[in-house]
Structure 1
Amino acid sequence: MGNIVYVVGSVNEDLRLRMERLPEPGETVSADSVETGLGGKGANQAVAAARSGVPVRFIGAVGDDDPGDRLRRALSDDGIAVDRLRSVPHVASGRAFVLVDDDGRNSIVVEAGANGALDADEVRAGLDDARPGDVVLCQLETGLDAARAAVRTARTRGAYTVVNIAPFHAGVLSLLADVDLVVANEHECADLRSALAAAGGGTVADLGDRMLVTLGASGSVLGEETVRVAGDAVTVVDTTAAGDTYVGYLAAGLAEGRPIAEAMRQAGRAAAITVGRAGAARSIPHAHEI
């Protein structure tokens, strides 16, 4: 077995509603279609990494309920190891309500459910066999304590750490010293810049090549133009999971030992395919498609 991508993160059952346009505050609109499926930033990123062809282990929590069983099976069906995905009794699995308009734009409301039960001790135990060459990837949907435990444990184990700072929380500043690579979109990068300024903790530029910003159709950039990768021109169907696809493929490329510029190019191509399809996890491409 090659290097492993450990994903510490959220897993949700998505309820996806397609509509002509997103509602304004106080407005009711009709949905053209409704479907359910696997979602959550952690799960989406794990699926992307697994479909790239690397071994993936998921550390997280679902409810001891029917949705939890479905989510576990969905991850396992993609070849993701779920022996460290805990079922929490008397707590519902996480859910996300995803509204998508005809231009592919979305609005998402998340109910954390069992994702909120993932604690630091559980994360540390889940990473007890991580080793140099492995990549530990986390986001902020499961809370700062879980993310903090993930990056600090990974550091002690010699693994490479990637944190996707979404959804943004100013508490992420406490993680930066232990993170090898911070990944953010333009909005999250602006939030990070503001939080650093408010805390007197330096600037985004101080992170140098530890900061990677995704730019949507314009591609992505590492540091102060150390690497810039152009985007691909595609017809947008649904932007859901595009960022997660990028992050998962990026982590997989790093686990494979690819130079970061090559990993960024591969991740960008994967994300471009994702936005041309409807859905979250089901829209993520396999390596042979890229």
Structure 2
Amino acid sequence: MTNRIAVLGSINVDTTYHVTRFPQPGETISANDKSSAPGGKGANQAVAAARSGAQLSFIGMVGEDNEGKFMREALQEDGIDTKFLKNDPRHGTGAAVITLDANGQNDIMVYPGANFGMDESLLAGTEDLLEKVDFLIAQFETPQAVTAAAFKLAKEHGVVTILNPAPAKEILPELLAVTDVVIPNESESEVLTGIAVDSEEAMLKTAEYFKDHGVANLLITLGSRGVFYSTPHGHGIVPAFKVKAIDTTAAGDTFIGALTSQLRKDLSNVADALVYAQRASSLTVQRMGAMPSIPTASEVQAALND
């Protein structure tokens, strides 16, 4: 069965500067190389899900500029429906500047642009779409109020809502109330709850925190330690695949998109879906760039069969 997914999210054009090491405050260093590629957390997650066989629709905004045209075409190349990708006449397309060091670690500076030009009028006409999809995914590179309105609408149509609270910031209570699955990484989880996820006991305590705020399902990505999950079906840690990372950009986005492409709506297969998602993410970090590094279903299956 093919999962039908809508992503409400961010679109950025990524420019990556390749350096031997990160500069110190006030220091000027030379970049060894420079590259540009389509990206943004929302776009990356949509492409990851589409490349793993899901049927995708995208809800978002770009500027009336060449970058917006470039990003629209990039999504369409992966078979993603862009009917609800609107143009913002006031702001340029979102952009990110990424500094990547020789160890594959990065830091990122984002210009939100049209991503934060969204308001609830963007959702006009999306009811027909939400009647047909299984999952709606969103992140924090777009306004929370729009996400809350979209999730509320999605819940009215029986859609499973997935929130990736990145970059971490306080979550609106009304958004948590209509979120089915929350997926932070370990640092985001600590920012959101004040609980350091340094043990399974702490992770279970974090799961209780989110349950108390209305979210029944928690996944915490733990980098090289794997991923912790807590759902009504049980809890546990699925280990990561050991690989040599050369660029961690879009690793988390690949994980979320690939995971959602495999999940059943009742999350009964969460452990198996997590293994698939972990494998997909492990391939992404062995390649350069955001969207260009995201693997296809056949690549993930081949790696799982190795």
TM range (shorter): over 0.9
1:207 and 2:217 matched: no
1:242 pairs with 2:251:
yes
Question: Do the aligned partners of 2:98 and 2:106 also contact (CA within 8 Å) in 1?
Answer: yes
SS of the equivalent of 1:125 reads coil
The aligned counterpart of 2:160 is: 160
SS of equivalent to 1:170: coil
Q: Measure, in 2, the Cα distance between the counterparts of 1:129 and 1:271.
A: 28
Task: State the Cα distance separating 1:131 from its structure 2 match.
Answer: 3.2
TM-score by length of 1: 0.92
Task: Output the amino acid matched with 2:126.
Answer: G
Matched, 1:263 2:278: no
Query: Paired residues, what number?
Result: 284
1:192–1:204: 8 Å Cα contact kept in structure 2? no
For 2:246 and 2:208, the matched residues in 1 are separated by: 34
Single out whichever of 22-31 and 54-63 deviates more from structure 2: 22-31
CA distance in 1, matches of 2:179, 2:255: 18
The share of aligned pairs that are identical, in percent, is: 39
Write the mapping of 1:208-227 to structure 2, written as runs, cut at 5 A: 210-223=217-230, 226-227=235-236
Alignment match, 1:32: 32
- Residue pair 2:61, 2:118 contacting (<8 A) in 1 also: yes
Contact 2:41–2:139 under 8 Å retained in 1: yes
Equivalence for 2:89: 89
Q: Which runs of 5+ in 2 are unaligned?
A: 196-204, 301-306
Quickly say closer, same or farther: Cα 1:83–1:249, change in 2 above 3 A: same
Kept after mapping to 2: 8 A contact 1:44/1:244: yes
Alignment match, 1:282: 292
What do the CA deviations read for 1:184-241 (whole angstroms, capped 9, x no partner)? Answer: 100011011129xxxxxx9542435511100111110112871321100000100000
The one-letter code of the counterpart of 2:236 is V
Tell me which amino acid in the other structure corresponds to 1:226. H
**RMSD of aligned alpha carbons:** 2.0
* Within-5 A mapping of 1:39-188: 39-123=39-123, 125-131=125-131, 134-188=134-188
Gaps of 5+ in 1: 196-201
SS in 1 for 2:130: coil
Q: Distance in 2 between matches of 1:123 and 1:107?
A: 32
Alpha carbons 1:131, 1:157 under 8 Å: kept: yes
TM-score with structure 2 length normalisation? 0.88
Residue of structure 2 in register with 1:190 after alignment: 190
Contact 1:135–1:255 (CA under 8 A) maintained in structure 2: no
| Cα shift readout 1:17-66 (whole Å, capped 9, x = no counterpart) | 11101111111111111111101000000010000011000000000111
Equivalent-residue separation in structure 1 for 2:122 and 2:264 (angstroms)? 23
